[in-house]
């Protein structure tokens, strides 16, 4: 099929091989003033719309690929700014899931018939796509899990219980997600290991100098995020990995907020383990992945027992498969893995550097517009030439509860943000608050989304201010009457 798409120089399109693997190839034309490129019929609305420079932003050109964004919520146009919690799904991913269940639904690795063989090929193809996406040496270094939380638990229970002993040290930061704290608390209780936490510096970034000072021969593993889901700060993972390795420690990176937004090269970072979730990178829920260096994975015992992860089973013992099968007990999330593979195709078609560059600009715009809101407190570092912020802002407005803000933004303006502790209670306590509001962007968002959000937020703040003024006046009158 031929379809007209606008042009952005650094974009890449799905390869000819990818297109040829799809059976439907009927041709038609769509004319909207865009340049014409040839794509397969089933990739229409999925291929990346490359904007003409100076005409369409990346957000405008990709929004047509996300059906959910084109609706009204509570009588207003939906403005979705909750991407750090989960991303929306392009038509390409929805079709990949539908195609699996309609055309070749079958269990993997366990059948010789056509459906099983095709399902297995597509499932393992998804693993290879993940490996390529993060530049792993070998697809065997990719273990599919049900989410990033399970991936961290896998490392904690399999590697941690086998390698940690009393007084060994595990270093984390106060800004970690609960999923990166709780498993290591449990393992520390079982092994006698000690958890040590790095505080924030004056810029509200985890103090990397203090982290470096904490490292010693007692340190066995460093568990850190790449991008904070609250502070929007970005840690120098390559440096942290080098410092940790210098004292013989391993490094586990929570990359849930970085893999969807920037180029990740695990070989360059030289981390031992890295985890991410599909649903934050345009893929389905119910699947994530663990990257682990193959020598480490090969040395680790199984996390769960059952079918698929065995080599041989006897009545008194079992032997185990090599990684990654050793860590994928039972029937896996086959459709979800295939959907993740389609999401990676989609993101790769745009180009992760293109996505990152666009989000840096859009994130700075969000930060600067938020500063105009009266009595606002934005958490994390201010963006500058030397300090990079992710495209999200957690904030509070003086005397207003974040859930009240989020509720009215949704009900009165159709704006979706997150409120609460964002699975980071220790960080919020450190900041002296119990919760915050958070607006988080993705590449399909636009400056108009930000403008609509700021307008809605100002309107909401004004409403509550007027309400509090009215209550205050009423209270004063009641007092005088008494």
Query: How do the domains of the chain map onto residue ranges?
Result: 58-86+351-474, 91-349
3-state secondary structure of 5: strand
Q: Has 282 been annotated as catalytic? A: no
CATH of 91-349, picked from 3.40.640.10, 3.30.310.50, 2.60.120.10, 3.40.50.300, is 3.40.640.10
Domain 58-86+351-474 adopts which CATH fold?
3.90.1150
Catalytic residue among 19, 20, 40, 423: 423
Between CA 346 and CA 354 the distance in angstroms is 13
Per-residue exposure over 372-393, b if at least 16 CB sit within 10 Å of its own CB, e if not? eeeebebbbbebeeeebbbbbb
C-alpha dist (Å) from residue 301 to 182, 274, 319: 21, 18, 10
**Residue 46: which residues within 8 A CB-CB, separation 6 or more?**
65, 90, 91, 92, 95, 346
Q: What is the pLDDT of residue 331?
A: 96
Classified as helix, coil or strand, 21 is coil
pLDDT values of the chain reduced to their tens digit, one per residue, 482 residues: 333 333 333 333 333 333 333 333 233 322 223 222 232 333 333 444 343 345 799 999 999 999 999 999 999 999 999 999 999 999 999 999 999 999 999 999 989 999 999 999 999 999 999 999 999 999 999 999 999 999 999 999 999 999 999 999 999 999 999 999 999 999 999 999 999 999 999 999 999 999 999 999 999 999 999 999 999 999 999 999 999 999 999 999 999 999 999 999 999 999 999 999 999 999 999 999 999 999 999 999 999 999 999 999 999 999 999 999 999 999 999 999 999 999 999 999 999 999 999 999 999 999 999 999 999 999 999 998 888 899 999 999 999 999 999 999 999 999 999 999 999 999 999 999 999 999 999 999 999 999 999 999 999 999 998 887 766 655 544 434 34
First to last CA, the chain: 79
* Residue 471 confidence (pLDDT): 66
Backbone CA torsion sign across 219, 221, 227, 230: negative
Render 308-335 in DSSP notation, one character per residue: SSEEEE-SS-EEEPPTTGGG--SS--HH
Which pair of structure tokens corresponds to residue 408?
A: 């009215």
- What tens digit of pLDDT does each residue of 187-197 get? 999 999 999 99
């Amino acid at each position: 099929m031929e379809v007209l798409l606008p042009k952005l120089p650094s974009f890449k399109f799905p390869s000819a091989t990818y297109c040829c693997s799809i059976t439907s190839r009927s041709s038609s034309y769509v004319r909207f003033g865009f340049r014409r490129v040839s794509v397969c019929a089933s990739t229409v609305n999925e291929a990346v719309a490359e904007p003409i420079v100076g005409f369409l932003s990346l957000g405008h050109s990709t929004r047509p690929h996300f059906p959910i964004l084109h609706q009204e919520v509570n009588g207003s146009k939906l403005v979705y700014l909750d991407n750090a919690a989960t991303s929306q799904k392009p038509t390409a991913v929805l079709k990949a899931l539908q195609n699996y269940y309609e055309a070749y639904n079958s269990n993997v690795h366990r059948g010789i018939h056509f459906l099983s063989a095709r399902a297995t090929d597509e499932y393992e193809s998804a693993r290879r796509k993940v490996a390529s996406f993060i530049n792993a040496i070998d697809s065997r270094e990719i273990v599919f899990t049900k989410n990033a939380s399970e991936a961290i638990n896998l490392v904690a229970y399999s590697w941690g219980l086998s390698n940690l002993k009393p007084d060994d040290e595990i270093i984390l930061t106060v800004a970690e997600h609960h999923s990166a704290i709780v498993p290591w608390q449990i393992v520390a209780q079982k092994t006698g290991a000690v958890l040590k936490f790095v505080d924030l510096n004056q810029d509200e970034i985890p103090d990397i100098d203090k982290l470096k000072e904490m490292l010693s021969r007692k340190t066995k593993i460093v568990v850190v995020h790449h991008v904070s889901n609250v502070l929007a700060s970005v840690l120098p993972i390559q440096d942290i990995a080098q410092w940790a390795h210098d004292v013989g420690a391993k490094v586990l990176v929570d990359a849930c907020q970085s893999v969807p937004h920037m180029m990740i090269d695990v070989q360059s970072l030289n981390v031992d383990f890295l985890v991410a979730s599909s649903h934050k990178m345009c893929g389905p829920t119910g699947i994530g992945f663990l990257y682990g260096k193959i020598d480490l994975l090969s040395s680790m015992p199984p996390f769960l027992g059952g079918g698929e992860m065995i080599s041989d089973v006897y009545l008194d013992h079992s032997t185990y498969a090599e990684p990654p099968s050793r860590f994928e007990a039972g029937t896996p999330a086959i459709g979800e893995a295939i959907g993740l593979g389609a999401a990676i195709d989609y993101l790769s078609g745009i180009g992760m550097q293109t996505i990152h560059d666009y989000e840096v600009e859009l994130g700075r715009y969000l930060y600067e517009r938020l500063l105009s809101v009266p009595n606002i407190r934005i958490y994390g570092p201010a963006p500058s030439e030397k300090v990079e912020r992710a495209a999200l802002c957690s904030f509070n407005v003086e005397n207003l509860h974040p859930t009240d803000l989020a509720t009215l933004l949704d009900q009165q303006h159709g704006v979706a943000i997150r409120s609460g502790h964002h699975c980071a209670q220790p960080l919020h306590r450190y900041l002296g608050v119990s919760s915050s509001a958070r607006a988080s962007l993705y590449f399909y968002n636009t400056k108009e989304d930000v403008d609509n959000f700021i307008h809605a937020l100002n309107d909401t703040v004004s409403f509550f201010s007027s309400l509090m003024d009215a209550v205050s006046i009423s209270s004063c009158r009641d007092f005088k009457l008494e």
